[in-house]
Structures are given as C-alpha cells and as structure tokens.
Structure 1
Amino acid sequence: MEPLRRRMRVRFGDLWIADSEDVMLLHEPGRYPVAYFPRDAVESAALKVEEYSTEHSDLGLTRWFAVTVRDRTTRRAAWCHTALPEHARVLDGHIAFAWRAMDAFYEEEDRIVGHAADPYHRIDIRSTSRHLVVRDGNRVVADTWRPAVLYESGFAPRWYVPRADIDESTLIPADGQTFCPYKGLASYYTVAQRSRAAWSYIDAWPEVGAVRNMVSFEPEKIDVDIDGHRLHLEPGQTVLPHGVDRGLDPDELLVDASERTVYTS
C-alpha cells in the first residue's frame, strides 16, 4: 500500500462522488492495483450500506455499499475494510469503488480506463536495424530491417513491423478487438489460415505512439525470425480476476461520444 500522489476522481451519473489527492493504492500479487479514497473525499450521501460482507484473506472483514445518485442505484459498487490488521491500518477509513460499476475514473481531466494506473508498469519502445522476417510456409509475409521492439513489464518482448514492409494482401481483418490500459485498442488479423496471428494498435495512445499502426505477429501462430533465429512464444504475465469488475474489454472504450464527455468542476 502506498500513496498514489495523483488527484483522482470518480464519476457516477452526473456527479463526482469521489475527489482526492490522497488516494492510497493497494498492490496485490498478480492483480491490478486498486485505488482507495479517504472517506471524507467521498460523497457520503451516495453510499448506502448493504447487508452483505465478505472476508479478505489479508485485510479482514469487507463491508459493501450500493452507490445511489438520484434514481440510479448500483449494488455492491464500493467497499471498505472494517477490521484491518495492524500492517494495513493505512487503509482504515478508505473506500474503493468497483471499476466497471462507475461511469468513469479520472486523473485531473483525463479519463483513466481499465484500472488505476500502476506506477511500476513500464513500456519502452526501441527502434532497431535487426532483420525480421515473417513467413507463412514459403510465402514471405513481412521482411524488414527497421522493426520496433516493445518491452512491457512482465511480458515477453513484442516486435512491430512498419506496414510498408508487409505484404498487406496477407492480412485479413478478424472480428473482435481487445483493450490494453497502457496501449489502447488492438485490432487483429488472420494471416492465411492462421486466425488472429497478427495485431495492430491502429490508433495507439500517445504514450506508445512509436508503434501506432504497425503490426506485430504472434510467434506461436506464424513463423517469425530475427536475424535468422526463430522466435518462440515466451511466458507472459498472468493477471488474476479482482473483485466484481475485472473484465478488461473494449466496451469500456467503445462508447458514444456523449459518454466520453470530459466533465469539469
């Protein structure tokens, strides 16, 4: 548990129900970080205690709240720990909100999606002159001397290829997208008969703009060689579900423009 050291706000309906510069961030092994707000930074009238509690293996008894604003109510939308052990006293009197139960979380005026930002999750992108070749059997799908490699905390390196160095006739758009809280929305491609063997952050977020609209290929599904050496799928990070809201999916981003309004105080 540590201070987030950023102003964070929570929106539900047309009301800011939490607003604080003193948010605490809880890290648990293999789980997404969770933001806890001081009780006095939460709109108390929005919280209704439920006759429901759970037991956290490390943090003790957990009391749950419904969140109500005007005629709208979401059950089990917030919680606090009411019998904290000594080592976790810093969370005493703090409230956490189920991410998907709220309409939006913000840092200052920027919406944060997926989960609270993890200050220890890092992405570095490096350009290189190594020779990358992608093949579907004997057919060359991509051949480049200017790939970019993306290093992300806990994950295997991913190699991205400029579209000019790809035979784009081999890329068939596939149904479905996935969402990364750090990179944005990923679109997928079938390569020959290899389903979803490639992907692209067509409109990658500014923080990873160096790979915007480039294409990465899955070495588990198609042959990828770097300097003549075959790549193999490496173990990546496995993230466990957390609470009631841990589905990372595009629905959080694919909303009407009216729902993407940036609210100001």
Structure 2
Amino acid sequence: MGLSWQQGPLSAGAIGHFLTPEPLPERLLFAERLRRRMRVKFNGAWIADSENVILLHEPGRYPVAYFPREDIDEQSLIPSSKVTHHKDLGDTAWYAVHAGERTTERAAWEFAALPGYAADLQGRIAFAWRAMDAFYEEDERILGHAADPYHRIDIRNTSRTLEVRLGDTLIARSEHPLVLFESGFAPRWYVPRADIDQTQLHPVDGQTFCPYKGLCNYYDIGDARHAAWSYTNAYQEVDRISDLVSFEADKVEVSLDGTRLHLEPGQSVVPHGVDRGLDIDEVKAH
C-alpha cells in the first residue's frame, strides 16, 4: 500500500511508470523524515522516543521506522552475533531487546556497513513490529506498521448499478453502492445490506485486520468460499463502509452498469496479522 506496497510507484507490480529517458533500477528505496514523534513500548517500558525518525520505503514491504541511537534506551539493546545481508544496504547486525524480566531475540536491527548513498540510515535502529508491545505517534497507538504518508483512502457515492450473481442466482443489486479508492488497489465496491439477499451470505470463522479499516469478516456464497467481506465496525475515518458488503469479482459475477468486473493482476491481498497484545475491543475502539 502507499509508495512501495501492492501496486504503488516503487513496488515491483507498479501499474504506472516513470517518464524518464533511461530506465530506472529495478529496485528503488526511498528514505524520508517522518516528521512525527514516534515511541516504542516493550514490556511496559518506553524504550524509544524520537521526533527524528527516518521512514524507509522498500519495494514489497510496509514502511519501516528507523530511530537514532541517541533516542533509544541503550540498556534495552543487547548485541547479537547474528548478522544477515541486505541486498541493497549491506550487512545487518541484530539485537535482542530487553526490559525488566523480558528479553526477545532478533527484535531490532541496524545496518552495519551502509553504502555511501544510504548514509541517512547510519546509526539508526529499527524494531521488529510484532516483537514490541506497541508503537505510538504521540499518545495514540499505531496499528499494523509505521504510518505510510502516501497511503490514502477516498470513498465516493455513485448512481451506477452494481449486480452480483452466482450462476442464475441474483445475490445483490444496488443503484447506490459506494466505491472505495485505496492507494495501490483497484476500486472496491461496497453494497448496503438492504440491497443484498442476505440468506445467500454464510459467515465463516476467522477475521483479517487492515491497519486502515479495521477487522474484516468474510462470507461464503454457495460453493464460492470467502466470496464477500465486510468491515462491520470500520474505523471512524472510513465509517461510511461500516457493515456494507463487498464482493470478490474472481469468485462471483460482479457487474457494473452491465459490464462484468474482473480481479486486476497483482490485487491479491496478503492478510495482515493483528499486533501483539491487541484485543478485539481495542481494534474496534481505535
């Protein structure tokens, strides 16, 4: 999502291209100041607190926050003998993170032999997101990954007619669906439940989590598994889609003004796990 994830301009599956006389390298990394105060909590203690975070956008990855060493509690970092190699940024030294009675191995890292062009990351440490208790901007918990300033969601009304069928069965017909435009994704169409034959929706166990929209529930339709989904309690920022239903165009027939929609290449979503210690009530209240 955003700059380097899904089909963003720095991702491997970008849908656009840069208008340059010479081809760009296959991989472009982008680093910038976050310009937000960011904090890290581990075992109930604040181990990092900085207004000088660098955000690294790397193709195919969520953005990662790098903290200057002087803004980290040095006692929380225990050097490890583990060294790995990053294809663009060289040797990577790993640390265990310690606070109180708790220690987690390979929970932080630092680039130990950066090339000159990547000097912005010199002397900076990144923390493994799910190994920490939580990340915060000011006093608000940030979920999923460091906030991507290039990620955007717009929701629009439309008077176009959306129909959903499975074989000869009409599942839904709406003349006022909502369309959600999200960075790096094709448009997603959401239908009010009043326009759906809800006897055709069969809830399935399990939820996924989106850092921008909340917890997602899924439905089977006939033999089509996970053919529809709904954010029944979407975050306030995207509340307009709360409890509406969207349908997978590769699993059921979805038509817009009579033209069948198809799943676009590169649109398969890798489910995002829920952060450590994050319960359902906290996600709903976010």
TM normalised by structure 2 equals 0.84
How many angstroms apart in 1 are the aligned matches of 2:269 and 2:89? 20
Question: Equivalent residue for 2:148?
Answer: 118
Matching residue within 62, 80, 104 for 1:74: 104
- Matching residue of 2:59: 29
Q: Which residue of 2 aligns with 1:175?
A: 205
Conserved? CA contact 1:59–1:88, under 8 Å: yes
Query: Deviations for 1:189-212, whole angstroms, at most 9, x for unmatched residues?
Result: 011221110000111111211111
C-alpha separation between the residues in 2 aligned to 1:258 and 1:250?
A: 11
Match of 2:273 in 1: 249
Q: Give the distance between the partners of 1:256 and 1:225, measured in 2 at CA.
A: 34
Secondary structure of the residue that 1:45 maps to in structure 2?
helix
Query: Residues 60 and 105 (structure 1 numbering): CA distance in 2 closer, same or farther, change over 3 Å?
Result: same
In structure 2, do the counterparts of structure 1 residues 257 and 158 end up closer, same or farther at CA, with 3 Å as the change threshold?
closer
Aligned to 2:230, which of 194, 200, 204?
A: 200
Q: 1:149 aligns with which of 179, 202, 207?
A: 179
Say what the alpha-carbon RMSD is for the aligned residues: 2.2
Does the C-alpha gap of structure 1 residues 77 and 238 become closer, same or farther in structure 2, counting only changes over 3 Å? Answer: farther
Q: 1:209 to 1:170 in 2, by over 3 A?
A: same
**Structure 1 pair 261/205, CA: closer, same or farther in 2 (3 Å)?**
closer
Q: Does 1:97 align with 2:127?
A: yes
Q: Which stretch of the first structure deviates more once superposed, 52-61 or 6-15?
A: 52-61
Shift of residue 255 of structure 1? Answer: 2.3
Answer whether contact 2:144 2:275 (CA < 8 A) is retained.
Answer: no
3-state SS of 1:111 partner: strand
Which SS does the other structure have where 1:105 is aligned?
A: strand
Gaps of 5+ in 2: 1-30
Tell me the SS of whatever aligns to 1:178.
Answer: strand
- Equivalent residues of 1:79, 1:95 under 8 A apart: yes
How far apart are 1:250 and its partner, in Å? 3.5
Task: Give the structure 2 partner of residue 162 of structure 1.
Answer: 192
Q: Distance in 2 between matches of 1:214 and 1:96?
A: 38
Identity %: 59
Alpha carbons of 1:180 and 1:137: their partners in 2 closer, same or farther (altered >3 Å)? same
2:77–2:97 contact (8 Å) kept in structure 1: yes
**Alpha-carbon distance change, 111 to 187 in structure 1, aligned in 2, over 3 angstroms:** same
